[in-house]
Structure 1
Amino acid sequence: MEAYCNAVRRLKDKFDGLELNHIARKYNEEVDELTKIASGRTTVPPNVFARDLAKPSVDFKDPAGASATTAKPSVVTAIEPLAEDPLAEESEAMETETEISSADEAGAMQIDEAPSSQDWRDQYLNRINRGVLPSDRAQARRIARRAKSFILIDDELYKRSPSGVLQHCIPILEGKELLRDIHTGVCGHHAAPRTLVGNAFRQGFYRPTAVADATEIMRTCEGCQFYARKTHLPTHALQTIPITWPFAVWGLDLFTGKKFLEFCDDFHIRVDWSAVAHPQTNGQIERANGMILQGLKPRIFNKLNKFGRRWLMELPSVIWSLRTTPSRATGFTLFFLVYGVEAVLPTDLEYGSPRLKAYQQHQNQQASEDSLDQVDEAQDVALLHLARYQQSQRRYQAQRVRHRDLNKGDLVLRLRQDSRGRHKLTPP
């Protein structure tokens, strides 16, 4: 405070009168609020004016106020008093006169207007050696905060790591060569990017973009590309098929022929090939085939007679099971969506289910007709269930999507399907 008092005494001759009043702490509420705003970096009220200073406005080394050019740079936030304060105009006039009359205070904000060089170390060296900050205010704050962890030893820039180890700051080209040597050098084993950076930092070197450089080195390494692990994450969002109503479109996976085409013509069935024109439908069919195969494999399992032609006899049972099992997507069975009632299964007849015991033939015809009248409402409910199910599937798929953009002319690696003549060191 003595330095600031000396600065005020130098300016008292420029005013007709000067009166200093001591205010007790319990009555100094407005100044306390301004101090809390400055220290907490909260939102400044509209009637308060704030200004950022890169250097103190007084010289702490010389209380008499000789020169302020040798003061160490620091970050000081000066907040002007409230406009409603009676002393606001007088304090504002003192501050304005100080900035105009004193040549020392004119250099309070020393800004580097020259364009920054390509070496990332220059901005920290300018801050440490000359107290110079970039012209951009946000960047100046960032450099001033980060420069506290850098020191100079024998004109070389070092950074204090969180573990206390001093890391030598190296330029861009030298840092890339260091990472490349750790990756493919004598003691390198083509490690992952974060492992490369960890090895470099433990050896006492530092670069702010080391992780990005290591990632680029690994992506451009030919050996890492050939022996990279297969990516099983989806490359695009899930494309669901909007259904207007159940059974509007049928998807079939079969071998076509003359008899099949004649059958379609007789029943006025239009055939659309989906292998290329609509791959979503083709994927839906493959999913249905997978469910059928999943039910067939356990039924035809036999240690003595593997597979054979038993699948032909077991196929109707598996299909009937799928038709009479409620679907998680719609909440209903396929049989119910078609006929409005559930099918009677062999287990119902064998064990005597309650609905079978309550069956009355003279009432069954009327109940069946009523069920057909109500099947439209059940199909609408199934559509709502299906839409909600597809939405949940899209959300789950979107969490795992990893986009890979390919342009015309890009080189890609094709997966080899033939395993003949391959060994452990053969690339996939």
Structure 2
Amino acid sequence: MLGEYNVTYRPRTSVKGKILADFLIEMSGEVSQPVSAAETQEEPWTLFTYGSSCVDESGAGLILTSPQGAEFTYALRFQFTASDNEAEYEALVAGLQIAARMEVKNIQVLVEVLENKSIKEKEVATVIEEDGPTWMTQLVDYLKEGTLLGDEKEARKLRLKAPQYELLEGVLYRRLFLTPWLRCVGPLQAEYVMREIHKGTCSMHAGPRSVLAKSIRLGYYWLTMHKDARDMIQKCSDCQVHRPVTRHPQQHLTLITAPWPFYKWGIDIAGPFPEGPGKVKNLIVVMDYFTKWIEPKAVATITGGQVKKFVWDNIVCRFGIPGEIISDNGKQFSDNPFKDWCDKLNITQRFASVKHPQSNGLVERANRSLGEGIKSCLGEGNKNWGEELSHVLWAHRTMIKLSHGDTPFSQTYGTKAVIPAEIGMLTYRTATVDMVNNDEEMRLNLDLLEERRERAAICEAKAKSKMMKYYNARVRGVAFRPGEFVYRSNDASHAVAGEKLGPK
């Protein structure tokens, strides 16, 4: 609005300390008439002022109290930057101007004074005092007196490092390019700073990088900032109890490979399922590590004798005696009669780590695939899941596996299987089949099966190498040294249920 009249507004600049003297000189000219003794003995008004400033703005608060107890409260916001002292002067000047306009003749001014100190002198002394020399001692001596060490290499190193520091009033500061200078602190001071930032009054048990970044933003520096923050947090019991459960692997991946088909098998128990005909409710599942061929059997109970009979009927009598069988630590696998039977046939048993089914991950994945397939094929109220098992199994055997780029059926029998869709709607292969020369072509496929398996082995080796590279890139190793305290997450750690605020 003032621009129309060629009038510009310029905010008031900061007020110097002589404002009180200038104000008294201005007021002395206005009050030139003598005042009666009765007026001078009038009860005084009370003016309480408070001024404060921050990075963005400054302001003041006023409370003017009459002799009868009536209070007049004012809050002021200044449109210019000012220090705390300048804000106090502005608050006092504004209060006196308000009192003059109200024709107050006798006034008493009060300024806020902190009588009780928030931190005792002893506490401050324990924070800033250091016992003996620190990493700053040599730098301070060199910047203050030019003292160098006797070792020529160390002296040269100190001379090169010294320009990065500045000594002001006995306090050492670190020079930085983009931030203000950082105050250098010793070990005791650094421990106090980290403790206050990590678990002090205004803290949240942040990680080492957050503690480090906040220390720098507050203006502190010492040589081993990141290491000290990491060591302190590793010793914090609350952080160990409530830290997020890491999902990164802690050890490198160990590949399980098979030298030839039907040499290495993985076996596991799937279930329990809803009880079907014959009271069957469990599945014994085996899978060949080379061809990915799956053999399951529905059983009512799981015993060592049943596992022995299943391996004999479905593996030994069809594909020969295996070299290795990988299983978990169940009694049906680790105890007799299955154990003695494996020893007699010279079959090596490999057991997965306790509570770590990923050690036998291939057959575990097969169990999940069979369960998902059966569940998808079952209709509502249909509990005869055993009838759907053969259909799901056929689908798996004729499905191309990404690991070796071929189907388990083709790797086992040397030819591609004909599925029902090719009979309902003829393809080129089924429409042009030569029944006269078909047997000869089948024998030729068997002769070429060895070459196909070699290509599959090479393809699987490449796939596993790629998978191992991705897995190992996510490994976060954890190493413990003798004497270190370790928080062990077990049933005793969760004895008291804390719901959302309990341990992980």
Indicate the TM-score class for this superposition, using the shorter chain for normalisation: 0.5 to 0.7
Deviations 1:199-238 (A, max 9, x none): 2222222112122111112111111111111111111111
- For the Cα contact (< 8 Å) 1:197–1:211, is it kept in 2? yes
Deviation (angstroms), 1:291: 3.2
Which of 423, 431, 452 pairs up with 1:357? 431
Q: Does 1:317 align with 2:364?
A: no
AA matched with 2:226: V
Name 1:372's counterpart in structure 2: 446
Name 2:328's counterpart in structure 1: 275
Secondary structure of 2:452's partner? helix
Please give the alpha-carbon distance, in whole angstroms, between the structure 1 residues aligned to 2:208 and 2:388: 53
Which of 205, 210, 233 pairs up with 1:195? 210
Name 1:426's counterpart in structure 2: 502
- For the Cα contact (< 8 Å) 1:251–1:281, is it kept in 2? no
Deviation (angstroms), 1:136: 6.4
- For the Cα contact (< 8 Å) 1:323–1:334, is it kept in 2? yes
Name 2:471's counterpart in structure 1: 397
Which of 403, 412, 421 pairs up with 2:487? 412
Which of 217, 223, 228 pairs up with 2:238? 223
Q: Does 1:125 align with 2:140?
A: yes
Please give the alpha-carbon distance, in whole angstroms, between the structure 1 residues aligned to 2:399 and 2:157: 63
1:170-189 counterparts in 2 under 5 A?
Answer: 170-189=185-204
Please give the alpha-carbon distance, in whole angstroms, between the structure 1 residues aligned to 2:139 and 2:185: 13
Please give the alpha-carbon distance, in whole angstroms, between the structure 2 residues aligned to 1:137 and 1:120: 18
Please give the alpha-carbon distance, in whole angstroms, between the structure 2 residues aligned to 1:278 and 1:136: 61
- For the Cα contact (< 8 Å) 1:159–1:168, is it kept in 2? yes
Deviation (angstroms), 1:311: 3.9
Please give the alpha-carbon distance, in whole angstroms, between the structure 2 residues aligned to 1:290 and 1:211: 45
Deviation (angstroms), 1:315: 2.7
Q: Which moved more, 1:182-191 or 1:125-134?
A: 125-134
Please give the alpha-carbon distance, in whole angstroms, between the structure 2 residues aligned to 1:326 and 1:239: 24
Name 2:363's counterpart in structure 1: 285
> Could you state the TM-score of these two structures normalised by the residue count of structure 1?
0.64
- For the Cα contact (< 8 Å) 1:274–1:281, is it kept in 2? no
Change (3 A) 1:193 1:297: farther
- For the Cα contact (< 8 Å) 2:265–2:325, is it kept in 1? no
Please give the alpha-carbon distance, in whole angstroms, between the structure 2 residues aligned to 1:420 and 1:370: 69
AA matched with 2:486: L
Which of 305, 326, 346 pairs up with 1:258? 305
Secondary structure of 2:501's partner? coil
- For the Cα contact (< 8 Å) 2:265–2:326, is it kept in 1? no
Please give the alpha-carbon distance, in whole angstroms, between the structure 2 residues aligned to 1:166 and 1:138: 28
Q: Does 1:247 align with 2:320?
A: no
Please give the alpha-carbon distance, in whole angstroms, between the structure 2 residues aligned to 1:143 and 1:294: 69
Please give the alpha-carbon distance, in whole angstroms, between the structure 2 residues aligned to 1:287 and 1:322: 12
Please state which structure has a larger fraction of its residues in strand. Answer: 2
Identity of aligned residues (%): 28
Deviation (angstroms), 1:240: 0.7
Please give the alpha-carbon distance, in whole angstroms, between the structure 1 residues aligned to 2:369 and 2:154: 59
Deviation (angstroms), 1:356: 0.7
Please give the alpha-carbon distance, in whole angstroms, between the structure 1 residues aligned to 2:482 and 2:384: 49
- For the Cα contact (< 8 Å) 1:238–1:397, is it kept in 2? yes
Change (3 A) 1:136 1:298: farther
Deviation (angstroms), 1:398: 1.4
Deviation (angstroms), 1:318: 2.4
Deviations 1:244-271 (A, max 9, x none): 1122222221344424424545757578
Deviation (angstroms), 1:286: 1.3
AA matched with 1:175: A
Q: Does 1:207 align with 2:280?
A: no
1:99-178 counterparts in 2 under 5 A?
Answer: 119-133=134-148, 142-178=157-193
Please give the alpha-carbon distance, in whole angstroms, between the structure 2 residues aligned to 1:135 and 1:287: 68
1:321-332 counterparts in 2 under 5 A?
Answer: 321-332=395-406
Please give the alpha-carbon distance, in whole angstroms, between the structure 2 residues aligned to 1:258 and 1:180: 62
Change (3 A) 1:329 1:118: farther
- For the Cα contact (< 8 Å) 1:323–1:335, is it kept in 2? yes
Name 2:91's counterpart in structure 1: none
Please give the alpha-carbon distance, in whole angstroms, between the structure 2 residues aligned to 1:246 and 1:136: 69
Change (3 A) 1:141 1:390: farther
Please give the alpha-carbon distance, in whole angstroms, between the structure 1 residues aligned to 2:494 and 2:422: 50
Deviations 1:37-70 (A, max 9, x none): xxxxxxxxxxxxxxxxxxxxxxxxxxxxxxxxxx
- For the Cα contact (< 8 Å) 2:268–2:327, is it kept in 1? no
Please give the alpha-carbon distance, in whole angstroms, between the structure 2 residues aligned to 1:246 and 1:138: 66
Change (3 A) 1:138 1:358: farther
- For the Cα contact (< 8 Å) 1:226–1:413, is it kept in 2? no
Change (3 A) 1:407 1:317: farther
CA RMSD of aligned residues (A): 3.0
- For the Cα contact (< 8 Å) 2:182–2:216, is it kept in 1? yes
AA matched with 1:355: R
AA matched with 1:289: N
**How many matched pairs?**
308
Please give the alpha-carbon distance, in whole angstroms, between the structure 1 residues aligned to 2:496 and 2:216: 44
Secondary structure of 1:291's partner? helix
Name 1:343's counterpart in structure 2: 417
The structure 1 segments of at least 4 consecutive aligned residues displaced by more than 6 Å after TM superposition are 135-138, 417-420
Change (3 A) 1:196 1:380: same
Secondary structure of 2:268's partner? coil
Deviation (angstroms), 1:139: 5.5
Please give the alpha-carbon distance, in whole angstroms, between the structure 2 residues aligned to 1:325 and 1:425: 47
Secondary structure of 2:201's partner? coil
